[in-house]
A = this chain, B = another copy of it.
Amino acid sequence: MTRSQTTAPRRVAILGVGLLGGSVALSIRRQHPDVQLIGLVRDRSKGDALVARGLIDDFADSVANVCRDCDVVVVATPVDRLADFVIQAAKHSPSDCLITDVGSTKVEIVATVAADSLARLKFVAAHPIAGSEKSGADFATATLFDGKPVVLTPDTATPADLLQRATDFWTSVGGQTVVMSASEHDVHLASTSHVPHLVSALVARMVQQPAGQLVGSGWRDITRVAAGDPEMWTAICAANRNAILSEMERFAEHFDALKTIVASDDDDALHQWLAQAKETKLEVENLEF
């Protein structure tokens, strides 16, 4: 039996068939056409539409009915409801089930799940760094995760073979896994995602009329993510408040230092500052991991 046969999932539950859950479904199907995909969907007409589109094969409106007989459960709800669903899924899934998630913050969920002895041994927390300012299964694609980092944040009790299965699973949907602690993850993401998101939203908020008619492609790109779902981002900020506040503090200090440079008439210093920003930008985009 080859390794891919060993690790091919047979029946996968998707709790929350939105942009991310739907994209996980499409990516698994691309790799494993025979997999059975079961969605947790409360609304029957929405479920029928998802089946008609081929995202899922079947759906049910209770975690118990969805998770029964599954070998993998992917929890793709908003972050403030992830841990509850993981714990419920652990209760209603087979003993050898792998449960993973797509949440943008990890400390809170890992800690909550760790308090549940059953869930703790089935769960490998994951954050695929892929998404869009758009929400909903309509925007799901089979390629969303291709080449994207997927951070796995096991806790000290996570069985090694379960971590390996999670690695295989996320690799099979196209991602490139990287393992770190939940707190490292949350600190890093505050700086690469959460505070940049707030800054983007602030740039968007600050435009006043009639200046709004003069925005160019720079402003449009800087503020793209500001069109994201306020509910989702409120939950992310709530779940990673401390790391975000520290990073905001650091941002404010750096912004103040920049203001001093701009005010100083020292154009060499400003040039150097901008050149350093450009260099970091280009370096980061060429990083391999």
Listed by A's residue number, 30 A-B pairs whose Cβ atoms lie within 8 Å are: A131-B218, A149-B213, A189-B214, A192-B207, A192-B219, A193-B214, A193-B216, A196-B203, A196-B218, A196-B223, A199-B222, A199-B255, A200-B222, A201-B277, A202-B251, A202-B254, A202-B258, A205-B273, A205-B277, A205-B280, A213-B288, A218-B224, A220-B285, A221-B224, A221-B225, A234-B274, A238-B270, A244-B262, A248-B258, A252-B256
Smallest CB separation, A179 vs chain B (Å):
12
Secondary structure type dominating chain A contacts: helix
Which residues of chain B are near A157, meaning CB under 8 Å? none
Find A214's partner among B149, B200, B207, B259 (CB 8 Å cutoff). B149
Give the copy number: 2
Interface membership of A52, Cβ < 8 A: no
Would B130 and A216 count as touching, CB distance under 8 A? yes
Task: Give 5 nearest A-B pairs by CB, closest first.
Answer: A201-B277, A213-B289, A230-B274, A188-B211, A204-B281
Chain A residues packing against B (C-beta within 8 Å): 129-132, 148-149, 151, 178, 185, 187-189, 191-193, 195-208, 210-228, 230-231, 233-234, 237-238, 241, 244-245, 248-252, 254-256, 258-259, 262-263, 265, 267, 270-271, 273-278, 280-285, 287-289
Smallest CB separation, A152 vs chain B (Å):
12
Would A213 and B287 count as touching, CB distance under 8 A? yes
Which residues of chain B are near A217, meaning CB under 8 Å? 130-132
Given A206-B251, A252-B252, A252-B256, CB of A216 within 8 Å of CB of B148 = yes
Q: A180 to B253: give the CA distance in the assembly, Å.
A: 35
